[in-house]
């Protein structure tokens, strides 16, 4: 096991800039702060969440993060089983860039994340295990933040599972390329900052709730005085 990852500052923004600017911004951030930067930015319009659990909260609970049709898009499927329909798509089977994760309970709750680092079958995308593993490592904070954000209501209802240990397994038929590392805890990847329109919506919701509570209190006081 490697050393535990530091807690991440995850920022939620409502809308991503155009794909070219987004990729340039990500590259510039990595150059400025290094790949080990604890900061992650999520864009709401780039994340699609599909809840396949049918309100079931039994464990194990499984997650699948896959690339979408557009650059920088990600889809998250949550359910008691993996989304086999997406896993069987030819594009997904060729690229093997889907990340699978399983949340299990026990003496120590654990989120086990699996990444296939052996070369994809498609000759159009040649790769070797080590560069593929480095690619997964760069994306892992983003992937974990998507899982925590996409299933945030579940983790808020089960704080003990929010403390689950994150273990990332890099799988390969070649045992020399297989690896396993500790990436902290699920809660390390929760949204800690809301920016832009998302912030305004959050503040507005709090204001509406405060007005409603104030109206309720005033109404009770009037009833008592009457």
Query: For residue range 71-110, what is the model confidence (pLDDT) as tens digits?
Result: 668 899 999 998 877 777 766 665 667 899 999 998 899 9
Do residue 19 and residue 82 come from a single domain? Answer: yes
Mean pLDDT for the stretch of residues 14-42: 60
Do residue 209 and residue 159 come from a single domain? Answer: no
CA distances from 132 to 46, 116, 192 (A): 23, 9, 29
* Pairing mode, strands 165-171 and 110-116: parallel
The CA angle 45-116-57, to the nearest 5 degrees, is 60
Do residue 110 and residue 80 come from a single domain? Answer: yes
Do residue 163 and residue 206 come from a single domain? Answer: no
Listed residue (5, 2, 3, 14) closest to 144, CA to CA: 5
Do residue 111 and residue 205 come from a single domain? Answer: no
When pLDDT is cut at 50, 70 and 90, the band that residue 122 belongs to is: very low
pLDDT digits (tens, 9 = 90+) for 142-173: 999 999 999 999 999 999 999 999 999 987 66
**3 within some domain:** no
**4 within some domain:** no
What total number of domains does the chain contain? Answer: 2
Listed residue (90, 94, 87, 139) closest to 113, CA to CA: 139
Do residue 209 and residue 160 come from a single domain? Answer: no
**pTM exceeds 0.85:** no
Listed residue (159, 61, 160, 75) closest to 104, CA to CA: 61
Do residue 103 and residue 201 come from a single domain? Answer: no
Residue 68's SS3 state is: coil
**1 within some domain:** no
Do residue 179 and residue 211 come from a single domain? Answer: no
**217 within some domain:** yes
Determine the structural domain holding residue 137 and report its residue range: 9-195
């Amino acid at each position: 096991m490697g050393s535990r990852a530091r807690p991440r500052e995850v920022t939620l923004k409502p809308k991503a800039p155009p794909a070219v600017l987004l990729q340039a911004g990500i590259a510039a951030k990595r150059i400025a702060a290094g790949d080990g930067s604890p900061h992650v930015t999520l864009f709401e319009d780039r994340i699609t969440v599909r809840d396949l659990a049918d309100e079931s909260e039994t464990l194990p609970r499984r997650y699948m993060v896959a690339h979408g049709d557009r650059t920088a898009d990600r889809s998250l499927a949550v359910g008691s089983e993996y989304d086999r329909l997406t896993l069987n798509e030819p594009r997904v089977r060729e690229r093997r860039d889907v990340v699978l994760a399983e949340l299990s309970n026990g003496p120590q709750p654990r989120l086990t994340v699996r990444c296939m680092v052996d070369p994809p079958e498609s000759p159009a995308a040649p790769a070797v295990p080590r560069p593929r593993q480095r690619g997964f490592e760069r994306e892992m904070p983003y992937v974990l933040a998507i899982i925590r954000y996409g299933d945030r209501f579940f983790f808020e209802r089960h704080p003990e599972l929010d403390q689950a240990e994150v273990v990332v397994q890099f799988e390969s038929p070649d045992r020399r390329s297989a690896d396993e590392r500790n990436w902290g805890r699920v809660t390390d990847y929760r949204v800690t900052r809301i920016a832009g329109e998302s912030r305004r919506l959050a503040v507005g919701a709090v204001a509406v709730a405060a007005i409603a509570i104030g109206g309720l209190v005033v109404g009770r006081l009037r009833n008592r005085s009457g």
